[in-house]
Chain A
Amino acid sequence: MKSVRIAGGLGFYGDSWRPIKASIERGNVQYVASDHLAELTLAILQKDRQRDPNLGYTRDFAPMLIDLLPIAIPRGIKFVLNAGGLNPMAAREVLLGALKKFGMKLKAGVVLGDSVLERLDELQEVGVSLAHMDTGADIATVRDRLLFASAYLGARPLVEAIDAGADIVLTGRVADAALFLAPMVHELGWRWDDWDKLAQGIVVGHLLECSGQATGGNFGGDWRSIPNLAHIGYPIAEVWENGDAVISKAPGTGGRVNFETLREQLLYEVHDPRHYITPDVEVDMTTLRLDEIAPDEVRVTGATGRPAPELFKIIAGYEDGVMGQAMLGYAWPDALAKAQLAAEIIHQQMVEVGLQAEEVVVEYMGYNSIHGPLADPTHARDLNEVYLRIAVRCADKKEAAKLGRLFPPLALSGPPFIGGAGGMIEPRGLLGIWPTLAPRAVIEEYIRVSVEES
């Protein structure tokens, strides 16, 4: 039976591509599918694009490809990446330029049409409310603060690009798992109503889209048992025509692929596992099986699918104030009590300088900054050290910066025994996320695919 082998690439913008080398050199893969876009990545890219209209893509992808292509080209390996972000066309220009410079002759495909920011009026005119998907709130409340709005596209245009001979496919926002589904559909000849096969493909893509999180990274179980995380292998999938799949990793790499590591990734960022909705198929994850068949090899079978949804998800982001923050460490004895006194001092001074904060968060790092109100107070009194962290949300940068300036005087005029005064932290813009829905047809109408040779 025919099969295809696909390597998981990056899990986010900034992830390491070193493990991909092992997958290419020792994993016998035909494709690398790489996810560069988290929800908040588009906000970072929007800031880049505001500064320079030729930016707006994840800038790690070109050095990554230039590094990987010399070992990938001789093996005929193709790449599918959503590194185009908010500007896939500019990303392709950069790629074509780099390929020419290094004398590599390849076909680069690009998928356009996910960005709908310029089309929101048009969408509303045809009756799309753009109301917040979870809260039902009216988009008018954030409309003038929107920075981007991108639809999650499915795998079809990606398949079109691969069908047209693209060696590298660059997209903007697509469903993460669609990056993986596309090569499966192209290679295995699946139809767009083979719901169970598509469902298997999405599950495999979902397992592979977060790099090391499928192979023992961030593992909540017996994390001590995961070997050699310094040289972790990223996941590799072999998928057969009938939809059955085996997840593994390159020989000689660190990490672990087993029932435990994969079931953690299976439900990562999933809400209802019986109705996992993607643009290409609605997946039921509760019918599938994960079977360990060899060390670091797990067979995935039995996911079932229902027809694709009529609505596409759009993710929009809007400016939602500016965060100012500051930190300072206090030493034993009574580290927490000292940090608490410092917080009181800052509070009084915030009032006196008239700092206008819409929200204030006070955390004691080393005690409760991660678990918040659920932190266990048992050892609160004899901690070796505690860092006070205060964060404020303000209307603008100038206001937010006032917080940081209150901290340095604590060094001489506050409670005793400080450390870690790391200087001021630049205020940073906050971004609200606005998920909403639109009918498939109004999104698909604008999807374009183009393939060009270097």
Chain B
Amino acid sequence: MMKKQLVELAHARSGDKGDIANIALFAPDQATYDLLAREVTTERVQTHFEGIVTGKVERFEAPNVLALNFVLHGALNGGASRSLRSDALGKSLSSALLRMEIEV
């Protein structure tokens, strides 16, 4: 067993709707998708974003495009037009997720 940072394994894009952000995490192949599906759980993502996300995290799967989609409630300091943050739109939450380390 060794640890790898998600940035070495996958890519991601995030988007905003009100105070909810989504981060889609994309695997390069089926084996990596299966690994991500096992390791990058809702609970791990919830813990990872402590201090940023105030609500719950949900996970949806889109295996047809080898993607996991995380929905982060209360992720945007009230939403883009209400936020005091520099990253008001949460565009970089995607890369923040890629900092996570998983067992491979």
Contacts from A to B (Cβ < 8 Å): 38-40, 43, 134, 218, 220-222, 259-260, 263-274, 285-290, 317, 320, 323, 325, 359-361, 363, 365, 369-374, 376, 389, 391-393, 430-433, 435
Contact = CB atoms under 8 A, between A and B. Distances in A.
A308 B63 CA distance: 24
Given A273-B62, A363-B86, A435 B80 contact: no
A266 to B, nearest CB: 6
Contacts of B48: 374
B64 A286 contact: yes
Which 6 pairs between the two chains have the least Cβ-Cβ distance?
A269-B15, A373-B51, A267-B24, A40-B81, A391-B84, A431-B81
A371 to B, nearest CB: 5
A274 B24 contact: no
Interface string B32-71: 0000000000000000111110000010111111110101
A350 to B, nearest CB: 14
Interface in B4-21: 11-13, 15-20
B67 A267 contact: yes
A317 B65 contact: no
Contacts of A43: 81
Given A134-B18, A221-B11, A266 B65 contact: yes
A272 B52 CA distance: 22
A374 B52 contact: yes
A39 B17 contact: yes
B81 A374 contact: no
B97 to A, nearest CB: 9
B73 A134 contact: yes
B81 to A, nearest CB: 4
Interface string B64-97: 1111010101000111111011110001101110
Interface residues of B, number: 45
Contact of A433 (B18, B50, B71, B92): B18
Contacts of A288: 64
A220 B84 contact: no
A384 B32 CA distance: 37
B11 A433 contact: no
Contacts of A374: 48-49, 51-52, 96, 99
A361 B77 CA distance: 10
Contact of B26 (A264, A287, A317, A432): A264
18 contacts: A220-B11, A220-B95, A264-B13, A268-B24, A269-B17, A271-B20, A272-B69, A274-B60, A286-B61, A286-B64, A287-B64, A325-B84, A370-B92, A371-B99, A372-B52, A376-B99, A432-B82, A435-B18
Contacts of A259: 65
B65 A267 contact: yes
A25 to B, nearest CB: 30
Nearest to B7: A220
Nearest to B87: A370
Given A325-B84, A374-B51, 12 more contacts: A134-B18, A221-B26, A260-B11, A265-B13, A267-B69, A271-B60, A320-B78, A361-B85, A369-B87, A373-B52, A374-B49, A391-B84
